[in-house]
């Protein structure tokens, strides 16, 4: 039986000449590959040559392609694979949030929170791309609408009933806008270098201090 994996000086030592050792090394290479670890760093960590790492990566990519081809067109296998991916991403997000809650430093909290957000986003994207979840804004449909008019609410004798007509409504809104613009223009009056603010009922009050530029 092959020797167990050993750790020396921070490096992982795996038997190279046994099927068990090769399988274990490739599992570790796959994990590093998913984490984006450079091949040179993989070789140093696993104490093997870069050529060995490159061959492992080619094998792993080929295996991933064959596995993907096997589930293509098979609804049950596809659903199982999507379910596994979604579960793993949810686990990553939950773990990141746990680490976020336990961390005390701001930089660490930011990293864990970023990881959790990305995991949730990727999970949602996977589920949307596979059709399990509807795409935001694409699957939402309005089946019925209900419009309440001014006439229905206040009666046909109310002056507001004229607002049901689009032309009349535009005229009224234009008139209101014009009145507000004139009121805003006349809300400040300058008398003898002092700012007089117009108030309801015709009263006016002088602002403290001279007007700027006077």
pLDDT per residue as tens digits for the range 57-107: 999 999 888 877 877 777 888 888 888 888 888 898 899 899 888 888 888
Share of the chain above pLDDT 90, in %: 11
Residues 125, 98 share a domain: yes
Q: How many domains does the chain have?
A: 3
Range of the domain at 108: 74-141
pLDDT tens digits, one per residue of 160-204: 677 677 777 677 777 777 777 776 666 555 455 555 555 554 444
Neighbours of 75 (CB within 10 A): 8
| Spatial distance between the Cα atoms of 48 and 22, rounded to a whole number of angstroms | 11
Instruction: Give the largest CA-CA distance in the chain.
Output: 103
How does DSSP classify residue 133?
Answer: S
Same domain? 128 vs 155: no
Question: Which residues have C-beta within 8 Å of that of residue 176, sequence separation ≥ 6?
Answer: none
pTM for the whole structure: 0.39
CA–centroid distance for 122 within its chain: 9
């Amino acid at each position: 039986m092959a020797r167990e994996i050993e750790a020396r000086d921070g490096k992982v030592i795996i038997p190279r000449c046994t099927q068990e050792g090769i399988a274990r090394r490739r599992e570790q290479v796959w994990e590093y590959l998913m984490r984006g670890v450079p091949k040179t760093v993989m070789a140093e960590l696993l104490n093997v040559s870069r050529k060995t790492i490159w061959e492992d990566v080619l094998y792993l990519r080929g295996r991933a392609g064959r596995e993907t081809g096997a589930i293509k067109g098979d609804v049950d296998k596809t659903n199982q694979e999507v379910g596994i991916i979604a579960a793993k991403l949810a686990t990553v997000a939950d773990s990141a949030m746990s680490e976020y809650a336990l961390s005390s430093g701001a930089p660490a909290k930011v990293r864990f929170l970023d990881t959790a957000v990305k995991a949730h986003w990727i999970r949602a994207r996977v589920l949307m791309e596979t059709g399990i979840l509807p795409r935001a804004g694409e699957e939402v449909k309005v089946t019925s609408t209900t419009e309440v008019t001014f006439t229905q609410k206040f009666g046909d004798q109310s002056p507001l009933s004229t607002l049901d007509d689009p032309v009349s409504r535009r005229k009224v809104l234009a008139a209101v806008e014009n009145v507000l613009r004139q009121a805003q223009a006349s809300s400040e009056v300058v008398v003898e270098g002092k700012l007089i603010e117009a108030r309801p009922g015709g009263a006016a009050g002088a602002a403290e201090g001279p007007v700027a530029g006077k």
